[in-house]
Amino acid sequence: MKQWLALGASLILAGSLAGCGGDSNDNTASDTGVATPDSIRLNFLGRYQTGEFDESAAEIPAYDAASQRAFVVNAEKGELDVLDMSDPAHPSFVQALSVADIAAGAEVNSVAVRGGLVAIAVEADPKTDPGYVAIYRADTLARLGYVQVGAQPDMVAFTADGKTVLSANEGEPSDDYQIDPEGSVSIIDISDTGNIVVTTADFHAFDSQADTLRSQGVRIYGPGASVSEDLEPEYIAVDDAGTTAWVTLQENNALAKVDIASATVTDIVALGSKDLAQADNAMDVSDKDDVINITTWAGVKSLYQPDAIHSFSANGSTYLVMANEGDARAWGEDDDAYWGTEGVGCAGDSSKGFVEEFRVKHLVHKDGFDRRCGDDLPPQLRDLAAGALLDPATFGYCGASAGDPGNCREDEELGRLNITWTLGYRTDSNGDPVLFDASGNESATGDRLMYDTLYAYGGRSFSIRDADGNLVFDSGHAIESYLASDSCMLGSGRDIPCKDYFNSGHDEGDAFDSRSDAKGPEPEGLTVGKIGDKTFLFLGLERMGGVLVYDITDPVAPQQVDYLNTRDNWSTEDPSTILSSVGDLGPEGLVFVPASESANGKNLLIVGFEVSGTTAVYEVEPLFD
């Protein structure tokens, strides 16, 4: 579907701005006319504090060089905070941009900057309604106009020439899963700003290919959803030429490739899974064993499920770097009607939501599912069977036998791991579950699922793929292993051992190992910058916190060069009570600013921290041997 929408005569101004101003997080920012460093180091410069804890008051940042301003999504207010960056060590608040007059209840979701223009993704209320993309001037903050796009625009990006804005319209379902908008990618041509053209790249051509996509590994599993409804575009990368975009479909564990000129989704690529039986993919899967235990687990795989993605060039080819965060669908989890009532049978109402996450220990208990009624038993799982078993041929190493999970469900083994119940059980040629009796015998009258494989969420890694989505590198267990090593230090002074707070979260002070059962350190946000002839990756860890830095000049052999975590208080105190001094918690979005575009002539990294509500500024210092 193509819509022709005019933003009005005032947007004619925008065309004259396209050649000036600065970059944002949409294309690889670079300073290629400077000396190539041997390495780089992050140094803390300063921060802006909103004073809000765990309210997503600082999420996605973008930067404009001409106005020396940062634009930061403040989801707590539903607005865009504008910060003065003329003194990078002391960012200061200028004003907030509200989108409430675009539509009642509308909120800012994301932001991008290019050529003096600011593009804002605007979510409608309810989120299942079509959203908007609004365009502003970076210098005067005047809104030049806005256009309607698909439901829940979650990320916006410019092409390198500044003539096109792309919006990933996620189209999440309503909380009860009764309304599920189609996912889409809007392509907004602003080359003639007096006559803006919005074209929609949809997934309709793939609606008839659901079975084929599933067989390839694309997760299409929302209750009653078509392919178009089930696919949820998350994050966009655009090539240097502005001809091709790649869009992560996080919950679907897939990647969409888009031809920008024709606004066509040309391919959907399944991203596969990591086999935790392989030494390179070892993980710590328990938060209750009180030790760091990064080891292999036969029969367990993890889905990559990347969030942020960025393109970069190397050796004349385009590559994609992805942060493999992981994400489960969990809708209606706060509605008691969805779970049912304990003691009166499994009467959960499947029309009230859809939750796919379940702990291994609850999935494979030999007494079946009904012991979890009224607690955390998804009614859709109960509709499939009355219980589940582990294949003893695979899980015998942790004590599984016919009809009995043995020690596999213990907290110190696999019991605490959060997995999806929607994958891994044995099926027939039609895709229906093969049922077993409680003793582990296949039976036409059986009521137990048989799990040959357990699937966890997220790779706890970053990956590099080629332009067709083929994997060329994955960091495997390197992130968790580094956080557990003697080399890793926390705090602005780099003087706190990481291993003392391994896989910790942000809602507690001393929370050692609290995230190992979930998604570990959760790599989520990233950006890429060039200094001289080298390309560097800046990778934010949502849970453990901090920013990892890698030299990815050679895409098949990245090298870690730094890690900085500016959370300074790791005591047992509730972080919300010491917010002014705790530092920075929960990096969400990052943007690299080349020295040629920063106010102090230094390479900068600007990071939005959603938990601490802070926007931190780091100097990216070149190092020479």
Query: Are residues 18 and 35 both part of a single domain?
Result: yes
Is 511 part of a structural domain of the chain? Answer: yes
Q: Average the pLDDT over 416-424 and give the result.
A: 98
Say how far residue 311 (Cα) sits from the centre of its chain: 16
In this structure, the chain runs to a length of 625
Question: Do 564 and 617 fall into the same domain?
Answer: yes
pLDDT digits (tens, 9 = 90+) for 479-495: 999 999 999 999 999 99
Q: Say yes or no: 313 and 346 in one domain.
A: no
Is there a single domain that holds both residue 404 and residue 465? no
Q: What is the pLDDT of residue 19?
A: 34
Domain end position, chosen among 456, 480, 503: 456
Q: Model confidence at 424, in pLDDT bands (50, 70, 90)?
A: very high
* Cα–Cα distance measured from residue 238 to residue 185, given in angstroms and rounded to the nearest whole number: 13
Whether residue 281 lies inside any domain: the answer is: no
Tell me the average pLDDT across 203-217: 97
| Domain end residue (candidates: 388, 421, 456) | 456
Are 477 and 283 a contacting pair, CB within 8 Å? Answer: yes
CA dist., res. 144 & res. 141, Å (int): 9
Residue 284 lies in a domain: no
**Residue showing tokens 């990933």:** 168
Average pLDDT, the chain: 93
Q: Which residues pair with 275 in a beta bridge?
A: 301
Which of 43-52, 201-210, 502-511 is predicted with the least confidence, judged by mean pLDDT? Answer: 502-511
Same domain, 436 and 412: yes
Looking at per-residue pLDDT, the higher value among 80 and 29 belongs to 80
Q: Which residues pair with 238 in a beta bridge?
A: 245
Q: What percent of the chain has pLDDT over 70?
A: 95
282, part of any domain: no
pLDDT tens digits for 349-383?
A: 999 999 999 999 999 999 999 999 999 999 999 99
Indicate whether 182 and 120 sit together in one domain.
yes
Residues 225 and 131 in one domain: yes
Residue 290 included in any domain:
no
Q: Are residues 369 and 346 in contact, defined by beta-carbon separation less than 8 angstroms?
A: yes
> Are both 121 and 253 inside the same structural domain?
yes
Exposed e or buried b per residue across 565-590, where buried means at least 16 C-beta atoms within 10 angstroms of its C-beta: bbbbebeeeebeeebeebbbbbbbbb
The residue with greater pLDDT, 190 or 68, is 68
Q: What is the DSSP letter of 26?
A: S
Tokens linked to 167: 């919006």
State the pLDDT at residue 30. 73
Provide the domain count of the chain: 2
Q: How confident is the model at residue 17 (pLDDT cuts 50, 70, 90)?
A: very low
Given a contact cutoff of 8 angstroms between Cβ atoms, the answer to whether 302 and 274 are in contact is yes
CATH number of domain containing 126: 2.130.10.10
Does 419 lie in the same domain as 347?
yes
pLDDT digits (tens, 9 = 90+) for 388-398: 999 999 999 99
3-class DSSP assignment, residue 83: strand
Mean pLDDT of 181-202: 91
> Does the residue 292 lie in any domain?
no
The percentage of the chain sitting over the pLDDT mark of 90, rounded to a whole number, equals 89
Tell me the pLDDT band of 1, cut-offs 50, 70 and 90. very low
Are both 164 and 256 inside the same structural domain? yes
Nearest-angstrom CA–CA distance, 259 and 245: 7
Residues 476 and 568 in one domain: yes
97 plus 174 within the same structural domain: yes
Kindly state the tokens that stand for 579: 């917010």
Q: Tens of pLDDT along 519-567? A: 999 999 999 999 999 999 999 999 999 999 999 999 999 999 999 999 9
Residue ending a domain, among 422, 456, 490, is 456
**What is the per-residue pLDDT for 375?**
92
Residue 280 belongs to a domain:
no
pLDDT digits (tens, 9 = 90+) for 285-314: 999 999 999 999 999 999 999 999 999 999
Q: List helix spans (H) across 385-524.
A: 392-395, 478-483
Which residue, 453, 531, 64, 16, is CA-closest to 275?
A: 453
Provide φ and ψ at 52, rounded to 5°: -110, 130
pLDDT score of 262: 97
CA 585 to chain centre: 16
**Which residues, 6+ apart, have CB-to-CB distance to 23 below 8 Å?**
29, 63, 65, 113, 114, 593, 594, 597
> For residue 352, what are the domain limits?
330-456
Inside any domain, residue 279: no
Residue 13 pLDDT greater than 90, yes or no:
no
